Amino acid sequence: MPCPAFVLDLERLKSNLELISKVQEAAGVHIILALKAYANWKTFPLIGSYLKGATASSLNEARLINEEMGCKAHSYFVAYKEEEFEQVLKLSSHITFNSIEQYLRFKNQIGESDSPVSVGIRVNPEFSTVDTDLYNPSSPGSRLGLPAEAFQSGWPEGVDGIHFHTLCESNSYDLEKTLQVIEEKFGGHLHRLKWINMGGGHLLTSKEYDTEHLIQLLTAFRTKYKLDIILEPGSAIAWQTGELVAEVLDIHEAKDIKTLILDVSFTAHMPDTLEMPYQPHIKGQVKASDTSFKYRLGGLSCLAGDFLKDYWFDKPVAIGQRIVFADMMHYTTVKTTMFNGIGHPSILHWDGKHIHTVKSFDYLDYKNRMA
């Protein structure tokens, strides 16, 4: 098997999709894939056979959805560019604006276009159950969505939908609290709308998620307001569907600290481990004890902070050994860079019997990103 490599398990992806599609049917809602979290397009035909489309946050994402999922995108960009908007219109079934100014700027173009789209506005309920600021769209002064006071003089004419996104790896009880605030702050507008997009962050494929509660919650909301409900999770689709396999190239020792130098980089290939930050689980790691062996995991870049602390193993690690990072499909695969020119991990598919190399990267991938 080539190394380093992201290995996607197609069976695990399918079982996530089966669960999500059951929830979709039972609750009578539309669940679509957020491309920002997962864009491995070779699996889009599979994903498209379970889900009702995908959401784009850029022109490139909207194009990829049209080309590889064969449907129009639900677009929400933080801002649209004049020179791109005509293309966005052609590629989208829904366009959500982040401000009323942006809507007014493009309103005529939408009206005159022969590509019909349904328009939405992103609101900000200024309430979120997310603690980490980097992932909290409702922190004070957030640029994401408009607070309730922006609609004091009424809901903008021609806007059929309302969009909010305030969750991150959250459960249905977090959504329930959020919906209460949405009703308090925006309830007066809901009856005249056609759809509500409840964003992402619904981690409905995690073992702890109470999907029955979600179904009840969504069914009650849909019945009360007679709205189409759209959820656009990303992480939940690719949750626990694949690993990043790396190899130990060297073992560096300084001041009694042993660092396993890997053929991957945290900053280039697993940036959330440093940004969030979080400590990914690796296969074979054990709890700290008098008999276990402690290492740092070192990235291959020259960035001083490109390492993770304190991993323990039940025997000494050897050069050439493989280190397998769990749950590396969502966000990780879309956020990688070619920093330092370090070899990018290949993308492999495991179908239960065989491993297929779907994509490998070479010098030209590195060179073509620059000029």
Ligand X SMILES: Cc1ncc(COP(=O)(O)O)c(C=O)c1O
* Residue 12 within binding range of ligand X, rule CB under 6 A: no
Dump strand ranges (E) for the chain. 5-9, 30-31, 33-34, 54-56, 73-76, 92-97, 118-122, 161-163, 195-197, 228-231, 242-254, 257-262, 293-298, 307-313, 322-325, 346-350, 355-359
Residue 61 binding ligand X, by CB under 6 A: no
Rule CB under 6 A: choose which of 48, 53, 120, 233 binds ligand X: 233
Smallest separation, CB 31 to ligand X (Å): 11
- Extract the tokens encoding 371: 């000029």
Out of 232, 243, 263, 306, the only residue in the binding site for ligand X (CB under 6 A) is 232
36 forms part of the interface with ligand X (CB under 6 A)? yes
Q: Is 185 helix (H, G, I), strand (E, B) or coil?
A: helix
Cα–Cα distance for residue pair 84/250, rounded to 1 Å: 48
Residue of 125, 201, 280, 345 that binds ligand X (CB under 6 A): 201
Residue labelled with tokens 């991993």: 311
Residue span 146-165 as binding mask against ligand X, x where in contact by CB under 6 A, dash where not: -------------------x
Contacting range for ligand X; rule: CB under 6 A; set: 1-9, 67-75, 198-206, 310-318:
198-206
* Interface residue with ligand X, options 4, 48, 200, 343 (CB under 6 A): 200
Q: Which is nearer to ligand X, 235 or 333 (CB)?
A: 235
Q: Contact region for ligand X (CB under 6 A) — 58-66, 124-132, 186-194, 199-207?
A: 199-207
What's the rounded Cα separation, in Å, for the pair 45 and 252? Answer: 45
Nearest to 28 by CA among 193, 197, 191, 216: 216
Q: Which stretch binds ligand X (CB under 6 A): 226-234, 243-251, 292-300, 340-348?
A: 226-234
* Residue 240 within binding range of ligand X, rule CB under 6 A: no
- Render 137-164 in DSSP notation, one character per residue: TTSTT-SSSB-GGGGTT-PPTT--EEE-
Does 130 interact with ligand X (rule: CB under 6 A)?
no
Q: Which of 270, 265, 241, 279 is nearest to 334 (CA)?
A: 270
**What single letter denotes the amino acid at residue 50?**
Y
Q: Which residues bind ligand X (CB under 6 A)?
A: 34, 36-37, 76, 165, 168, 199-201, 232-236
